[in-house]
Structure 1
Amino acid sequence: MAQKSSFLKQVKELLFGPARDPFAPETRQHIALMAFFAWVGLGADGLSSSAYGPEEAFKALGTHVHLSLYLAIATAFTVFLISTAYNQVIELFPTGGGGYKVATQLIGPHAGLISGAALIVDYVLTIAISVASGVDAVFSSLPTAWQSHKLTVELFLTLFLMFLNLRGMKESIKILTPIFMGFVITHVLIIVYGVAIRGNEIPAIVHQTLHETSSLAGQMGWVFAASLFLRAYSMGGGTYTGIEAVSNNVNVLQEPRVHTGKLTMFYMATSLAFTA
């Protein structure tokens, strides 16, 4: 019986890591994240949304693709605007809690309950959409006969992410860091290369955008042009999911928490605005 118990303990430690005392000072030191690793662990959620949010916004423009220039500027501006707001939340609530703590303290417990419930739903949907979007992107380059396996792969990846999180945040970050940095580096290279080889066309593109916008507004009216743009902008709202992750988890950041939180927000906002 003792051997069986010892074996099960070894298996448990192998799968989930050794047990830690949550009140011990060394536990806090073990889980505390510096800004870079916080960007990887907490920023992956926000950065992954750049893979599907802008695409939905661009599709909503239909044939009026010239409005995408305004869309890109508005998206980058919105990312930094939201990040600035969350910097204030980090300053006011350095123990974490994010929107839940803000709603509870400033409005009331019922508003906090709604905010907390919305956050849980948001994370469930974010995981589902991120995994589905990633698998869809990979399978788009595979043979058609393989498409029937997409759901199986998505379920496996979701269970794998759950397992990583059960091991602990730092442990999961060690595994996800190469994937995260691979995503960032490849996107930076592709975007910079794309802009560099077409850089001489930028003045012409700006002029054409202004001309086509004026032409569209002259034919259909400014209300139509603005409505089309705002609809596309709202369809890309998925781009801004995950930005709140840092303010929700300030308690896991290295001291000084507020400084580390703001630095993490800067990394997240810059990478998301640039990629989106």
Structure 2
Amino acid sequence: MALSLAITAGGIILLYLLWDARAVPGETLNASTFKAIIASMGFGSPVLDQALLVVVLAFEAGLLFVAANTGFLGGPAVLANMAGDSWMPHQFRYLSSRLVTQNGIVVMGIAALAILFWTRGSVTLLVVLYSVSVFLTFAISLFGLCLYWWRHRQELDHWVRRFLLSLIGFIICAGILAVLLVEKFTEGGWGAVLIIAAMFAVCVYIRNHYRDTKAAIQAVDEVFANQPFGTHQDAVYPDPDAQTAVFIVGSSRGGGLHALLWVQRMFPGHFKNFIFVNARTVDTHAYGGEGAVEQMRAEANATLKFFVDFCHSHGMASAAYLGFGTDVVDEVTKLCEDIAKEYPSSIFFTSKLIFEQDNWFTRLLHNQAALAIQRRLHFESLQMVILPMKV
């Protein structure tokens, strides 16, 4: 990519030099250059020259249009990665959901239109906004690479060369960014700083909210940690023809026990089988270190075994299902469909978080996975109940 960009940029500059491109009011340098190139071909017809220029500029506009759309194509994936790290609402992780991809594109489209109307289409201002954003992204990415190579210097060979390459790139990008901010601050640089700072503040708020929620869920786990096991020793296997309660659980043991006890309290003696389902996401985070996938599998199996052992200790038939995939919603839906075929009399249960201080933004950040799974199961004529869990 670097080589292709260098050849393209070098070719454009060469054309500027060969045809002595100069700024013309109302025209870009490309338009002025290609007008001179077409005129030098000697077609002898001003109409034909103008038509050829229009065709060339149309191809140029089409290329820019395709390049601009790559941001909309890759945007949902970027949002998914940020959501995986809790910088964005978790619902953006579930790319299999049509609404997630659609909403991601809509968010970026609205933001682009807002900036376009705010700048009133000023190319000068838009170029400054674009340049500041691009070099800020490059600088942060290269700084992250510097940290990575430095932290893993004891584990990797030839880390010095890679570290120095990343460091040089970071210094260059940071220098260009500093020059842009100083020289173009009054010409639109302040707008870029304001927009990026606002987005950063929103992301930090979202991350802090998820961190507080995680602490609250851990407190719930501690409450249910002392839930006593029964005295029954032997395993009890489910009967496919019996009434079955299927619990979609995560890593929180408290949440799973809360749902199990709620169902037993509301439907005493109705369900004979208790099935627990869990799905884990296999993405770049799962391959982040040696044995990461195996560790994730062991943790998931340990959580499911806890639920199954708890049911067996009270003489209740129980089993567990575990799945792995790139999308939790998609994987859970497939597991539930398979369970429904094996246990026809199944009703599915999961929990959703209820906050004491609830608002539209809180609802946006939580419970989207449960709603997406419920929507899919209902479409397949399967019954699913979402239980409230106060945190």
Q: TM-score range by the shorter chain?
A: 0.3 to 0.5
Higher strand share: 2
Higher helix share: 1
Larger radius of gyration: 2
What TM-score does the superposition give when structure 2 sets the normalisation length? 0.28
